[in-house]
Structure 1
Amino acid sequence: MTAIGQPGLHDGYATDVAELCSDLLRIDTTNPGDGSGPGERQAAEYVAEALEAAGVRATLTEPRPRRTSVLARIDGENRDLPPLLVHGHLDTVHAEPRDWTLHPLSGDLHHGCLWGRGAVDMKGTLAMTLALVRAWARTGQKPRRDLVLAFLADEESTGEYGSRHVTTAHRDHFAGVEEAISESGGFSITTRTTRTGPDARVYPIAVGERGTAWMRLTAHGTAGHGSGPGQDNAVAELVHALSRLAAHRWPTRLVPAVHTLLDALDQTLGIRIDRDRLEEEAIRLGGLGELFDCTIRNTLNPTVLTAGQKVNVIPSRAHAEVDGRFLPGEQNAFVETVDRLLGPKVAREFINCEEAVAADHEGPAFGAMAEAIRSQDPHAHPVPFIQSGGTDAKAFARIGISTYGFAPLLLDPHLHYYAMFHGVDERVPLSGLEFGVRVLHRFLTAH
């Protein structure tokens, strides 16, 4: 595909985005979620230096040593319009080097892709933003409205040292902001429109997220010798409760954005997705099915189980952690169902609980994003979708800011985007990043 050029956008952005992404990938910002790890300080300083070199004043904020975020602001052409927030996170999850083809901190360009932990989640997107800011500095161009920038710590945990910190300690930085863009949306999924028709590219733009309910469960029992009858066994009680949770079938419910997504896929593909058999349809549609398979119902998965210290000792308590996600408007019903399934002998407490968030999938912001993508790809079919996971959007929703998942990427059809998130051999096509810079330029100078 030949992309439409951007008038006045300096060609140097292509070199910039490769250098910026590679440099960021080589900085270790692993966030184990337990307070350890190297922190985001080095990456934050790198970002701040890149912004300052482009004439943009940057502020570092650090609620805990080395847990650092960067805040900045760029004046737009029309100061009367509400500012737009562009936010992203600096931290990454752990990567085991022995499992990777290239070292996860290599940042190397290999077979057209930049490799490293964070390539898609989400240092590649941060590099696109920085490359665009540097291109504007060279050309004298400006976004249409003021841009508020936030490069954040701690998204891969609870956001306590990142988005939650800046939305409280630096609330004034976001004054007047109503909408934002961030990760996990605007990427291409190549598909055949019909069995004999041409290929098309679907670009899902995230317009919401399911709510988060991370819970710690505790079962109490009677300690004793492992050879005894064990009639009040905390481990057994907890395992039975986890089995009930895992076996529960949550009912299907389609929120408006998912309705719109399915209708758009029907039209794009020239087929009819059976609303009564959505699980089977998600499997049949492959990558497109991943756009709705986790957002048509609530989910709950046991993830951590700890109990006991010795094989012949019955422990007095057992613990588990579960990852729960619920649809908009479902929080109370979700928690009531969980408590019923756990039963009276298992106690529940929240590790993290955040309401589902949503943005307007029929408003002008979504339309401007769709237009920006189509300006660079005439075969594009932008569609709304709900993210199955969670992002810093939840913290910004608390102060009245709606976030869209819009980190545009043109991907090779054989590169499985979702498998890159927290997966082995995470990588992002350089050509895809270059495409993203052009799309962001179009969107931010037009909207």
Structure 2
Amino acid sequence: MQTPAVATTLATLIRFAPVNHGGGRSDGERAIAEWIADQLRAAGWAPLLLHRAGGRDRLNVVLRVPGADRSLPGLLVHAHTDVVPVEPDQWTVPPFEGLVRAGYVYGRGAMDMLGTVAVLVETLVAWGRDGTRPRRDVLFCFVADEEDAGHWGAEWLVGEHPELFEGIEVAIGEEGGMGELMPHRDGSTRRVYTIQAGERGTQHIALTARGDSGHGSRPTGDDAITRLLHALVRISDHEWPLAVGDVVRGQYEGLAAALGFTVDITDEASMLALVDHLGPLAGPMRWTIRPSATPTVVQAGYKMNVVPGQASAQVDVRCPPGTVDLVDATLHELIGDGVEWHYLVNGAPLASPTSGPWWQAMCATIMAHDPAAVVVPGCMGGGTDAKAFATLGITTYGFTPAPPDASGRFAAGYHGSDERYPVASLVGAQTMMRHFLATV
């Protein structure tokens, strides 16, 4: 059986191994961007290749396709070309071989998010070949550096080239709209598509405690490490209150109705009963109902018998929509006066409408290809490039629709081992995306 073109394209993209190591270090982002631009040029397009000063290897590909009615507000479609590193010994297949086997495309980035890049490239190639044009302007952005801070990708584009986004009203990007088979309470299943209409805010903070250095045999109980540890314990032990906004409410209530549950969004036990029923299918639902703060990096000391004069840490803080002020005030209280701290990243949470013409168009695309679908809104536990584009006043959604594989294959391996995308779902994703872009 011949491999579909979109699967071949995905396999090719994986082989570039565009790994973002963080801290400004990356491999393969220039090569993958140049390849994408070459495909678009061969189809008759004239994409822009843009990079930040000093970042020639962190290329971004931008293409605006004029619509038939340029008075309509435009649409941004964004996808990132970088992937996270791998631990090869945890994989059963080579992570950058782009292996197509047993109905899957295997490889780092297959789901996050080179599969969508492949869908968009194939869509543009088909449009160039067929002369298809959308109703409205569609701006395609294939960006670098999403898997770190976006300083070389979306954040830089927004800051240095806001003119590119003139007239854009709505953006779609990762990750939402992929159909999943979810268990009903009666033992049957429902096909559920979650469109991401919200994201928790990303507030990464750095803490530094200072004190007198000294001999390890003469403890004072008020040294830098002790001060820092006390602050980290207060942060870790804090019980954050429930904070259920409209998007999360819609997700819980929509899933409960579809799966035979009754849920009370003021009662955590009621909500977690639904989460426990879903198991891994619940994704980040357990965490999107409140803020969180997780210490992730601690650094101190340089010799066993020396009390250091400084200790530092980093904490990954996430806040649902409507909780920014609460989270900031609580952090000040928990950390106290004995430890200095500041924001490394201070990305606001996002919440977009779950009604109106754009929402209806996304739902209509799903229903056109899967009339039995249940569509619910969702809130991401982490963050995406949507936060950068939202600073321009663009309404953002996670919408990269794809149907479930009819043979029961399922996507897996996000940031983990043996990442893979079912070929049948990938083909369906291309069909659904082309439908959406042609009709919205």
TM range (shorter): over 0.9
Residue equivalent to 2:237: 247
Q: Which of 17, 21, 36 is equivalent to 2:6?
A: 17
> Matches of 1:32 and 1:21 in 2, distance apart?
21
Q: Secondary structure at the match of 1:98?
A: helix
Give the residue type in structure 2 aligned to 1:50.
Answer: Q
- Contact 2:409–2:422 (CA<8 Å) still a contact in 1? no
- Contact 1:154–1:162 (CA<8 Å) still a contact in 2? yes
Q: Secondary structure at the match of 1:286?
A: helix
> Matches of 2:142 and 2:302 in 1, distance apart?
42
1:225 paired with 2:218, answer no
Residue equivalent to 1:100: 91
Give the residue type in structure 1 aligned to 2:202.
Answer: T
Identity between Structure 1 and Structure 2 (%): 39
TM-score using structure 1 length: 0.93
1:42 paired with 2:31, answer yes
Q: Secondary structure at the match of 1:432?
A: helix
Give the residue type in structure 2 aligned to 1:373.
Answer: I
> Matches of 1:291 and 1:203 in 2, distance apart?
15
> Matches of 1:317 and 1:204 in 2, distance apart?
46
Cα deviation, 1:120-171, whole Å, max 9, x if unaligned, reads 1111001011111122223332222111011001111111111111112221
Residue equivalent to 1:444: 437
1:87 paired with 2:78, answer yes
> Matches of 2:63 and 2:240 in 1, distance apart?
43
Report the CA distance shift for 1:286/1:138 in structure 2 as closer, same or farther (over 3 A): same
Cα deviation, 1:42-87, whole Å, max 9, x if unaligned, reads 1110111111112121110111120110110112232221111001
> Matches of 2:67 and 2:157 in 1, distance apart?
22
- Contact 1:189–1:287 (CA<8 Å) still a contact in 2? no
- Contact 1:116–1:427 (CA<8 Å) still a contact in 2? yes
Report the CA distance shift for 1:242/1:291 in structure 2 as closer, same or farther (over 3 A): closer
> Matches of 2:49 and 2:68 in 1, distance apart?
26
Give the residue type in structure 1 aligned to 2:434.
Answer: H
Q: Secondary structure at the match of 1:32?
A: strand
Residue equivalent to 1:7: none
Q: Secondary structure at the match of 1:349?
A: strand
Give the residue type in structure 2 aligned to 1:134.
Answer: V
Cα deviation, 1:399-434, whole Å, max 9, x if unaligned, reads 1111110111234597675x6221111111111111
Cα deviation, 1:187-241, whole Å, max 9, x if unaligned, reads 1221233314x32111000111111100111111221111112332211221221
Where does 1:14-413 land on structure 2 (aligned, <5 Å)?
A: 15-38=4-27, 40-63=29-52, 64-196=55-187, 198-275=188-265, 276=267, 277=269, 278-290=271-283, 292-412=285-405
**Higher mean C-alpha displacement, 287-296 vs 26-35:** 287-296
- Contact 2:410–2:422 (CA<8 Å) still a contact in 1? no
Q: CA deviation at 1:291?
A: 5.1
> Matches of 1:220 and 1:157 in 2, distance apart?
29
Q: Secondary structure at the match of 2:59?
A: strand
> Matches of 1:393 and 1:230 in 2, distance apart?
48
Report the CA distance shift for 1:241/1:416 in structure 2 as closer, same or farther (over 3 A): farther
Mind listing any 5+ residue stretches in structure 1 that lack a counterpart? 1-11
> Matches of 2:353 and 2:273 in 1, distance apart?
29
- Contact 1:56–1:73 (CA<8 Å) still a contact in 2? no
1:428 paired with 2:428, answer no
- Contact 1:184–1:206 (CA<8 Å) still a contact in 2? yes
> Matches of 1:202 and 1:262 in 2, distance apart?
13
- Contact 2:200–2:319 (CA<8 Å) still a contact in 1? yes
Cα deviation, 1:289-308, whole Å, max 9, x if unaligned, reads 33522211001111111111
> Matches of 2:283 and 2:238 in 1, distance apart?
21
TM-score using structure 2 length: 0.94
- Contact 2:186–2:260 (CA<8 Å) still a contact in 1? no
- Contact 2:245–2:322 (CA<8 Å) still a contact in 1? no
Q: CA deviation at 1:376?
A: 1.4
Q: CA deviation at 1:33?
A: 1.5
Aligned residue pair count: 433
Give the residue type in structure 2 aligned to 1:343.
Answer: G
Mind listing any 5+ residue stretches in structure 2 that lack a counterpart? none
Give the residue type in structure 2 aligned to 1:225.
Answer: H
- Contact 1:291–1:385 (CA<8 Å) still a contact in 2? no
Give the residue type in structure 1 aligned to 2:325.
Answer: N
> Matches of 2:391 and 2:144 in 1, distance apart?
18
- Contact 2:404–2:425 (CA<8 Å) still a contact in 1? yes
> Matches of 2:336 and 2:183 in 1, distance apart?
48
> Matches of 1:222 and 1:111 in 2, distance apart?
62
- Contact 2:75–2:136 (CA<8 Å) still a contact in 1? yes
